[in-house]
Amino acid sequence: MSPRRSAADARQTRGAILARGVELASAEGLEGLTIGRLAADLDMSKSGVLGHFGTKESLQLAVLETAAEVFFREVPQRAVAAAAGMPHLLALCEAWISYLERGVFPGGCFFAAAATEFDDRDGPVREAVARLTSLWQGHDLRRHVRLAVAAGDLPPATDPEQVVFELTGQMLALNFALQLHRDRGAPDRARRATARLLGRPLGAREAAH
């Protein structure tokens, strides 16, 4: 086997491990993610899985980064065509609601679950969860709230931190309603709550699939 083919096979195997790892961690938590479980699910040896990551913590961190790639593809990237400021903020919120409504991850919002699991612990996994959620809130939400204020689409006295806090609370409530209560009417309530907070209706929703 050529070195190029060997490297390609290794990337493919690593990708399959991470994809299954995201599915398992979404439904059962990052702590439930074990080398043995992945090996059994993928018909691999434990050493074969371990060889790609070295430790369980390294595996957890890689799964987190993979889940973040999915989230950023499903939410921020769906809003890229919207103009900066209020249009972009509305598009982000609609994409965020749609992400939860469509059940992109089997266990609901991956990062809501990971935050609940690791919020009272120290260590690299908790730090990674905090970093990824802060990146999303700061770079996308807070930035476009500020631009909406500058454009006059939100009142001058608007506190971006408060808006981001309330938006996050609404999405956590939506995730809770969908996952615990199987409340299919919750996405429309989230849309109404978001529209009331921002003073604008959200755009046309994406078709569920």
Count other C-beta atoms under 10 Å from residue 39's C-beta: 17
What does the block give as tokens for 134? 């802060």
Domain residue ranges in the chain: 3-56, 75-198
Q: What mean pLDDT do residues 193-201 have?
A: 96
Q: Tell me if 3-56 shares its fold with 75-198.
A: no
- What angle do helix axes 56-74 and 110-118 make, rounded to 10 degrees? 140
Q: What is the pLDDT of residue 10?
A: 85
Q: What is the pLDDT of residue 6?
A: 75
Cα–Cα distance, 136 to 179 (Å, whole number): 22
Cα–Cα distance, 75 to 136 (Å, whole number): 10
State how far the alpha carbon of 109 is from the alpha carbons of 29, 91, 142, in Å.
11, 18, 20
pLDDT in tens, 129-138: 999 999 888 8
pLDDT in tens, 52-109: 998 999 999 999 999 999 999 999 999 999 999 999 999 999 999 999 999 999 999 9
State how far the alpha carbon of 45 is from the alpha carbons of 41, 133, 178, in Å.
10, 34, 37
CATH of the domain spanning 3-56, picked from 3.20.20.70, 1.10.3720.10, 1.10.10.60, 1.10.260.40: 1.10.10.60
> Which fold does the domain 75-198 belong to in CATH?
Tetracycline Repressor; domain 2 (1.10.357)
pLDDT band at 208 (very low <50, low <70, confident <90, very high): very low
Contact 57, 125 (CB under 8 A): yes
